[in-house]
Amino acid sequence: MLEPRDLTRRGEQLAGAEEADEAVGKRTAGALRMNALPQTSEVVVIGGGVAGVSTAYYLAMAGVPVVLCEKGVIAGEQSSRNWGWIRKQGRDPRELPAIILALRLWEKIAHELTENIGWTKDGIAYVAETDAELARFERWLPHAREHQLDTRLLSPVETDALLRQGKQRFKGALFTPSDARADPRRAVAALARAAEALGASIHEKSAVRSLETEAGKVAGVLTEHGPVACRAVVLAAGAWSALFLRHLGFELPQLKVKASVQRTGMAPLITESAVGASRAAFGRRQDGGYTIARSGAVTFDITPAALRHFRAFLPALKEKWGDLKLRVGRRFVDELTTSASWKADRPTPFERTRVLDPVPDHKGLDQVMRDAVDLFPQLDGVRPVERWAGMIDVTPDEIPVLGGVDGMPGLLVATGFSGHGFGIGPAAGYLMAQLAVGETPAVDLHPFRFARFAEGDVTRLPET
Ligand SMILES: Cc1cc2nc3c(=O)[nH]c(=O)nc-3n(C[C@H](O)[C@H](O)[C@H](O)COP(=O)(O)OP(=O)(O)OC[C@H]3O[C@@H](n4cnc5c(N)ncnc54)[C@H](O)[C@@H]3O)c2cc1C
């Protein structure tokens, strides 16, 4: 069997780069046993990102037989490429119960696992350069109060103290001391190993090509290595979920946008809290450098799916217009020639792209680095040593789909996390595990139902 290590291209190392503990190109769960795929199970999970792996972890913990199939490597796509922020702050209020649950689960995971997942609970701050930003932060505070969160506004002097600065250049900050981070390059792969130790059967380089049904219900999956019979399937395929669902005859409005990130070499300590400004955000890494990027700075390819769902995404496009880089490029042709109808006995698009590994936007990242130095002068002279990018899957209302699919009993979907699914991931997995065994979910999933798109109940709330 091909070593999973061979499947990913290295993250782009820049001149003078030293090795990180877990370089981007080593996104693999490593010591997984790679047993033969079982022919039957209770539940099959499609996708080895944070949502799928967490589902397998909680099912295995409950003693439920579960098989997880990942087309490439565990956490090869979004789940190892993100910033690692686990935040309640600034969330769409509909997600707050789930992210509150997720933070509790992350903390438990950090203690349950024997491996270092880079867990730190040092808070997250959004700093305001303008009065308008500060007013926007203030408008979010009632949600914090409703859920008894420790979120508060910092004065300019308190913001300076947090950032070890002295010029009161910020109008203030929104700060949640109990928000946290984990290291995406370690956490999900470590969770997959823990799930396997609990009895989950986890398989890399194992694309699921289609579903098998009996009497209109899910009866199993067809993988590139053969069928697996099961009672329930959890589709947690990230940016690929819409294609898989389309193949089954269901339309999920989901688009992909590219977001780029860089890490620096060793740098002076500004604060252990993660800090976001509108022009640049940073999080201190355990290797003494920073992960630096900009929220919302994304490249949006105009594709056939984008044209199909243009109306649904129009409000989001309007709000983010200034930040978007629009492109008509190779992806238009790629998608146009990627039909959602295929035969399950032949290789599918999932095997043709084992790991989505887009090229980072170097020009954009150069600007982010300049802005970061301007905002946080302690970064002067600090250089980026590695850059990478990921394809974020977005829904029109920027909240995920969590739950069943009308017309396909036994199929559950956990996808569309819209750029903030790393944090909420363990809760998504826990809730999917509950649904898969017929339990009432710990959180009301009505706002996340798949049917909302067909019902036209798609409300996008303004960003914080
Ligand atoms: C640059 C960047 C920064 C981000 N920052 C943050 C952050 O700070 N905090 C936060 O909460 N979120 C953040 N996110 C978002 C977060 O990473 C995602 O929302 C989350 O990782 C999504 O997890 P997932 O399991 O749904 O999907 P993924 O991690 O994309 O996993 C889906 C998996 O399914 C597999 N798959 C697809 N189809 C098939 C098939 N047919 N058969 C088998 N396998 C299949 C894929 O190969 C993939 O590995 C960021 C994302 C990016 C790109």
Beta strands in 373-462 (DSSP E): 384-394, 401-404, 411-415
**Mean pLDDT within 44-49:** 98
Strand pairing of 325-327 and 298-301?
parallel
206-243 confidence digits (pLDDT tens): 999 999 999 999 999 999 999 999 999 999 999 999 99
% of residues, the chain, pLDDT over 90:
79
Task: Report which protein residue has its CA nearest ligand 1's atom 27.
Answer: 238
Name the pLDDT band for 138 (thresholds 50, 70, 90). very high
pLDDT confidence bin for 341, thresholds 50/70/90 = confident
Mean pLDDT, to the nearest integer, of 380-388?
A: 97
pLDDT tops 50 at residue 430: yes
Look at ligand 1, atom 33, and give the residue with the nearest C-alpha: 47
Confidence (pLDDT) at 14: 59
How many angstroms separate the CA atoms of 149 and 103, rounded?
A: 12
For position 1, what pLDDT does the model report?
22
SS3 assignment, position 276: strand
282-320 residue pLDDT tens: 999 999 999 999 987 667 776 777 767 777 777 777 776
Give yes or no for residue 332 having a pLDDT over 70.
Answer: no
Q: Determine if ligand 1 sits within 6 Å of the CB of residue 238.
A: yes
What mean pLDDT is predicted for residues 319-333? 67
Question: What's at 246, amino acid-wise?
Answer: R
Kindly state the average pLDDT of the residues 145-161.
98
Upper half-sphere CA count for residue 37 (Cβ side, 13 Å): 23
Which atom of ligand 1 has the smallest separation from the CA of 390? 53
Per DSSP, the three-state class of 302 is coil
Residue 191 CA to residue 57 CA, distance in Å, equals: 7
User: What is the percent of the chain where pLDDT is above 70?
Assistant: 88
Distance CA 150, CA 378 (A): 28
Lowest mean pLDDT among 38-47, 106-115, 297-306, 347-356: 297-306
Which atom in ligand 1 lies closest to the alpha carbon of residue 75? 49
**Can you give the pLDDT at residue 135?**
97
Alpha-carbon span 393 to 383, nearest angstrom: 30
Structural contact between residues 393 and 214, judged by C-beta atoms closer than 8 angstroms = no
Q: What is the pLDDT of residues 91-127, one digit of tens each?
A: 999 999 999 999 999 999 999 999 999 999 999 999 9
For residue range 57-69, list pLDDT tens digits in order.
999 999 999 999 9
Cβ of 422 closer than 6 Å to ligand 1, yes or no, is: yes
**Residue 360 in contact with ligand 1 by CB distance below 6 A:** no
Q: Do 390 and 81 contact (CB within 8 A), yes or no? A: yes
Instruction: Compute the distance from residue 172 Cα to the ligand 1 centre, in Å.
Output: 32
The DSSP-derived string for 208-260 is: EEEEEEETTEEEEEEETTEEEE-SEEEE--GGGHHHHHHHHT-----EEEEEE
Is the pLDDT at 330 greater than 60? The verdict is yes
Q: What is the mean pLDDT of residues 428-441?
A: 98
- For residue 208, how far is its CA from the centre of ligand 1 (angstroms)? 17
Beta bridge partners of 126: 174, 276
User: Per residue in 253-272, pLDDT tens?
Assistant: 999 999 999 999 999 999 99
Query: Alpha-carbon distance 162 to 250, whole Å?
Result: 48
How far is it, in rounded angstroms, from Cα 295 to Cα 323? Answer: 9
Pair type for strands 152-154 and 172-176:
antiparallel
